[in-house]
Chains A and B, each alone.
Chain A
Amino acid sequence: MTRQGRTAIAFIGIGLLIYAGVYLVAERLVYRNGHSNPFFKIATTEVKAFDWVILGASHAMPLDFADFNGQMQSETGLKIINLASPGTGPLYNRFVLEAFLRGHTAKNVLYVADSFAFYSRTWNEDRFGDAKLLRATPCDPATAWLLLQYSRREGIDWRAVADYVTGFSKINNRERFQKDVWEGELQFDRVYRPSAAAVKSRIAYLFSDSGREAALARYMTEFAKLLELAERRNVRVVVIKMPTPGQFRALLPNEAAFYEAMTAAVANRGIGFNNFSAELDEPHFYFDTDHLNRVGVTELFARHLKAILMAPVN
């Protein structure tokens, strides 16, 4: 080998060693600052068997804000893990459930359905490549393998796999020293002051894509696959729709089509679908345009959730 070749190999070798060191530090920071990422919760929970797994997008997250999940567990005596993640649709939720069921068991899944998550790839395929999710997902070869399979089967961007395997988003994390807390959790005790402009811009953000009919069919299929996965693993599924303020609900586009499709999807399998959308209309139950605050989740839990969680499995 030439001298230049040897130099190049030495340079790359030292670079890889430094990279490995940086990767290890970044991974340690993931564990030190981890909090709300579903994969972090899976990796760090000491419990192997759960009674309930909560899945969904951000509307399901307040059930785990502050100490609320602990409160629900102590009041019901059940083991509950909340694996919801902001802006995630059924495809990402299935990925999380599949990863969870590799090393854990669950008797029930509480699926918090959101229509927006069924209307765009932004909340499904594209979420796999989101640096905010990737940088908080601990390194695990089994998760990497699962992600690779999703990339091949479901059309997830290969760059998401490359990012996860190389740990790039963790190394490149600008918030590496901050706790991985979703901004909503910091406002959990806040009370929302209604704003028509805020609701309008929130709806525009959630429903930015066109071609919604085709998307709904596509993600209902993904949802059906999630139900099949649960069925195969003897996990009962209950679907709920979280309450949202009337002002927000009134602007939701294509809601009837979503409701119809969801009802049909769950009815075929004998799954319960509880629509609590109109349950809590007053703004004091919310910390922003559409997320329940502490008062809201406490009320919902007392009115309905507790009964659902404690209902005996058939």
Chain B
Amino acid sequence: MLFTSLEFFAFLPLVMLLFSAMPVTQRWAVLLLASYLFYGIWQPFNLVYLGAVTLVVYGCGWALERAPRPAIRKALLGTGLVALLGSLVAFKFYDFIAGELERSFASTFPIVLPKLGVSTPVGYSFYAFSASSYLIDVYARRLSGSHHPGHIAIYVAYFPKIFAGPIERATAFLPQMVAGLRGDPGRAIWGLQLIGWGLFKKVVIADNLAPLVDRNFGIVAFASPIELLISVYFFAFQIYCDFSGYTDIAIGISLLFGIQLMENFRRPYLSRSTAEFWGERWHISLGRWFRDYLYIPLGGSRSGLLRRYLNIMLVFVVSGLWHAGLGYGVGWTFLIWGALNGAYQWAGLATRGLWERLGGLLPALRQSAALALVRILLTFHLIAISWIFFRAKSVSDALTVVRKIGTNLLEIPSLLVQYPFTAEHGMGFGLIVLLLAVEALDERRPLVQRLAAAPAVLRWGSYYLVIFGLLILGRWQAKEFIYMQF
């Protein structure tokens, strides 16, 4: 079931009604049932995968809690992680690797390898990661492994986050189940604001940018440099609005049930460096997962400079692989995308000292708004270049886009003047400007606070603008969320 479907708009109030009719301590059961319905209605067989993950995580967690010897505990953790992450790798890559091997040996030693023939169950990348974090936290004794099985089940299956996160930590989620779920009007209003804005980002901004992006990335060989350039910019905002729209809705729905999910996006295109982008603003829950469960265990930044560089690259390459299988297929492009972002971190790390010295010499420059703007623009463009590899159908398509734009950079101003812009372009740029204006306001002071302090006319006016923006400009028959297609 999609957040943007009519069925969901009937489903949610029904769940809320049932939820409020239940005693506080048993409300998780309503959410669990609703989650299975929400997930199973998409494809009932997926419930088998969800059930298997729940059993693995509960069983291993239970055993970890009781196992006294470190070796047994290690083995239990290893078993759980192999089951969860191994299956994820198999779902994502087995058929791809088998196909690549067959292709490589086709001329010399033709082979036919057996194929799984199944795609990754929807949302699996997200709930397998959530489940893994639970096991690691129990192993590290940050969390007790003797939680109620129902609570573990709802942690894995909780419907607002099952398709595209946030990759919530059990350390934050489970105590809320134990304490009992209570909705309150203040949180509900905040939740509704987030749902409205999330829907706006998805169906108005992302889905109105998508057709143009799809058209040009579909035929990069025939698209002009200007068309490709516009598509690259549009895609940067499409993917942001699509994904952050989903998580805004997820967080908003959770607030209606009195559940607080973690923040997943913090105005990423206002980042002043790629390190800030990945570390603090974009897909925060995944970034923290990689930091806590991969980067730090590998030694992080405390094990020498060379090792630190290697660790950074490894994290980004693995992150690239994690993103493979998204709506744009499984391919080498994701590896390059990850490596490119890793290289950005290397460059940032290598030049950090230089910038700090320069900032020390010219403190006025460090404080200047112009420099901040330049840094924001530079960061945005670096990220946008990496998105080309994320979006393109193949490495050769991505290189074609880079080459076409790169070799025509000097002619871009004159090409722009001649380009026959349409109303579709105008609307796309207008929506991006609106988004950036809202985000810039939010950056200075949270919009939630601004709205709460604003006179009713302004507050209600902005609500009606969002609601009627959704009705008038939304593309409701459009696509599912990009990150759901994992």
A residues within 8 Å of B by Cβ? 4, 11, 14-15, 18-19, 22, 131, 159, 162, 168, 171-172, 174
Contacts and interface: CB of A to CB of B under 8 A. Distances in A.
A22 B460 contact: no
A162 B463 CA distance: 24
B460 A18 contact: no
B460 A172 contact: no
Interface stretch (B107-115, B364-372, B472-480): B472-480
Given A159-B6, A168-B471, A11 B460 contact: yes
Interface in B461-486: 463-464, 467-468, 471-477
A159 B474 CA distance: 17
A53 B243 CA distance: 51
A129 to B, nearest CB: 10
Given A4-B185, A15-B464, A15-B467, A172 B6 contact: no
Contacts of A171: 471-472
Contacts of B468: 18-19, 22
Given A168-B471, A172-B472, A131 B460 contact: no
Contact of B477 (A4, A14, A131, A162): A131
Contacts, number: 26
Contacts of A131: 477
Nearest to A130: B477
Chain B interface mostly:
helix
Interface of B: 6, 185, 460, 463-464, 467-468, 471-477
8 contacts: A11-B463, A14-B464, A15-B464, A15-B467, A18-B464, A19-B471, A131-B477, A171-B471
Contacts of B472: 22, 171-172
Chain A interface mostly:
helix
A177 to B, nearest CB: 9
3 A-B pairs with the lowest CB-CB distances in the bound complex, closest first: A171-B471, A171-B472, A18-B464
A5 to B, nearest CB: 12
A174 B460 CA distance: 26
A222 B473 CA distance: 37
A140 B70 CA distance: 75
Contacts of B473: 172
A156 to B, nearest CB: 15
A300 to B, nearest CB: 36
B468 to A, nearest CB: 6
Given A14-B460, A14-B464, A22 B471 contact: yes
B476 A172 contact: yes
Contacts of A15: 464, 467
Nearest to B474: A172
Contacts of A22: 468, 471-472
A19 B468 CA distance: 8
A83 to B, nearest CB: 25
A172 B475 CA distance: 8
Contacts of A172: 471-474, 476
